[in-house]
């Protein structure tokens, strides 16, 4: 049972490779009328599905282990070490030899798992005794490598206990331990990708957004911002929309350019609607499509662009005449 729980990491590696192939395919796709922001969210969904399936597999292992606690069968350890070594090598090769940008971004951006936190505490204590290990142990450890080492140690301990003392329950306890470590490792990644799929604003850039909006509100001609909404489209890509009310005598194009320049470094997909403070208002919408390739996930999210085209839209009401312009930034 413990080896089965450990080989679920290999199944996760297969999904990780499929996610990498999906990332490569998306690099050659362009946005369409249906998917106006491109296909990058497919990769977010793929990572979310992979981590959720790993957690479901861990729950299945825990359920089977509970049944084994009631009636523990005999365990044969003939190929236990061979299977452990094979699964460990495959997992480490996939983790470090494949440049899976989507998975690497999630590992770096998501919160630490409980296994990483405990390992960090142990590393700090060890580095106080042996300072020379600080460069090796103090950096944040890769959670996939960490669970591979922890699972291999659990399986080796199981092999020793069964061979030496015929303690068959060690296999069940090791399976539960590996399942819990798998759950704890995948859960922060599921939370991170799930929030992206729910189109929430990342908590770590809310402060930056507030600061940029306050700076933009002091620009000449700007009276107020309305209906500001910002959300994450995919890994490293932030989208946003807002309305800007300007003075009657303000130059709309000038205000549009200034507001865009303030926000574009943080918001890659930006739509701005400008209207004058007048009963015959003219409004203009400014849209910035992302030109950032999916293959790069910049932390922080920065883009630089420049502006161009205009199109007219019909009257929305008898009181207001809206004029829209769409600027595609390259």
Which H or E element spans position 83?
Answer: helix 80-97
Is the pLDDT at 311 greater than 60? The verdict is no
* Cβ atoms of residues 112 and 140 within 8 Å: yes
**CA-to-CA dists, residue 177 to 167, 200, 223, angstroms:** 16, 33, 59
pLDDT at res. 330: 30
How confident is the model at residue 300, as a pLDDT? 42
The predicted pLDDT at position 289 comes to 53
pLDDT at 246 over 90: no
User: Which of 31-35, 65-69, 146-150 has the highest average model confidence (pLDDT)?
Assistant: 146-150
> Contacts for 64-67 with beta carbons within 8 Å, 24 or more apart?
64/1, 64/175, 65/1, 65/172, 65/175, 65/176, 65/179
Which H or E element spans position 284? strand 283-288
The predicted model gives 246-263 an average pLDDT of 81
The pLDDT of residue 134 is 62
- Read off the DSSP letter of residue 113: P
pLDDT grade for 325, boundaries at 50, 70 and 90: very low
For 62-71, the CB contacts below 8 A with 24+ separation are: 62/176, 62/179, 62/180, 64/1, 64/175, 65/1, 65/172, 65/175, 65/176, 65/179, 68/1, 68/172, 69/169, 69/172
Class in CATH terms, 199-330: alpha beta
Which residues neighbour 60 within 8 Å (Cβ) at sequence distance 6 or greater? none
Task: Tell me the per-residue pLDDT of 118-128, one tens digit each, with 9 for 90 and over.
Answer: 777 776 676 66
Of residues 318 and 69, more confidently modeled = 69
* β-bridge mates for residue 271, sequence order: 241, 287
The mean of the pLDDT values for the chain is: 77
Please report which confidence band the pLDDT of residue 306 belongs to, taking 50, 70 and 90 as the band edges.
very low
- Does residue 48 register a pLDDT over 50? yes
Q: What's the average model confidence in pLDDT over 151-172? A: 86
Residue given tokens 């940008």 in the structure block: 101
Whole-number pLDDT of residue 234? 82
pTM, 2 dp? 0.73
pLDDT value at position 302? 37
pLDDT at 321 over 60: no
Between CA 321 and CA 284 the distance in angstroms is 11
pLDDT above 70: residue 291: no
| Nearest alpha-carbon partner for 234 in 99, 113, 109, 52 | 109
Which pair of structure tokens corresponds to residue 19?
A: 């996610």
Q: What is the pLDDT of residue 320?
A: 38
Q: What percent of the chain is predicted at pLDDT more than 70?
A: 78
Write down the CATH number for the domain with range 2-197: 1.20.1510
Return the domain boundaries, the chain: 2-197, 199-330
């Amino acid at each position: 049972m413990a080896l089965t729980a450990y080989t679920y990491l290999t199944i996760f590696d297969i999904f990780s490779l499929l996610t990498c192939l999906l990332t490569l395919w998306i690099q050659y796709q362009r946005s369409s009328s249906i998917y106006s922001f491109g296909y990058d969210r497919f990769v977010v969904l793929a990572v979310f599905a992979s981590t959720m399936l790993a957690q479901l597999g861990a729950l299945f292992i825990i359920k089977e282990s509970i049944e084994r606690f009631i009636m523990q069968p005999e365990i044969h350890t003939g190929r236990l070490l061979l299977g452990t070594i094979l699964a460990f090598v495959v997992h480490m090769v996939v983790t470090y030899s494949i440049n899976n940008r989507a998975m690497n971004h999630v590992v770096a951006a998501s919160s630490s798992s409980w296994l990483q936190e405990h390992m960090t505490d142990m590393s700090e204590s060890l580095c106080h005794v042996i300072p020379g290990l600080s460069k090796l142990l103090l950096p944040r450890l890769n959670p996939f490598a960490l669970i591979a080492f922890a699972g291999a140690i659990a399986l080796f301990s199981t092999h020793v206990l069964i061979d030496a003392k015929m303690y068959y329950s060690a296999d069940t306890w090791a399976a539960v331990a590996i399942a819990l470590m798998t759950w704890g490792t995948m859960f922060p990644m599921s939370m991170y990708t799930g929030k992206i799929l729910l189109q929430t604003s990342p908590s770590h850039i809310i402060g930056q957004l507030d600061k940029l909006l306050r700076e933009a509100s002091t620009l000449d001609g700007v009276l107020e911002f309305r209906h500001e909404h910002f959300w994450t489209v995919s890994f490293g890509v932030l989208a946003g929309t807002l309305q800007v009310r300007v003075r009657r005598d303000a130059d709309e194009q000038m205000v549009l350019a200034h507001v865009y320049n303030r926000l574009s470094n943080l918001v890659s997909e930006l739509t701005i609607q400008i209207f004058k403070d007048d009963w015959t208002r003219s409004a203009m919408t400014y849209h910035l499509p992302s030109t950032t390739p999916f293959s790069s996930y910049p932390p922080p999210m920065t883009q630089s662009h420049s502006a161009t085209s205009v199109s007219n839209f019909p009257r929305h009401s008898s009181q207001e005449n809206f004029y829209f312009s769409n600027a595609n930034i390259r």
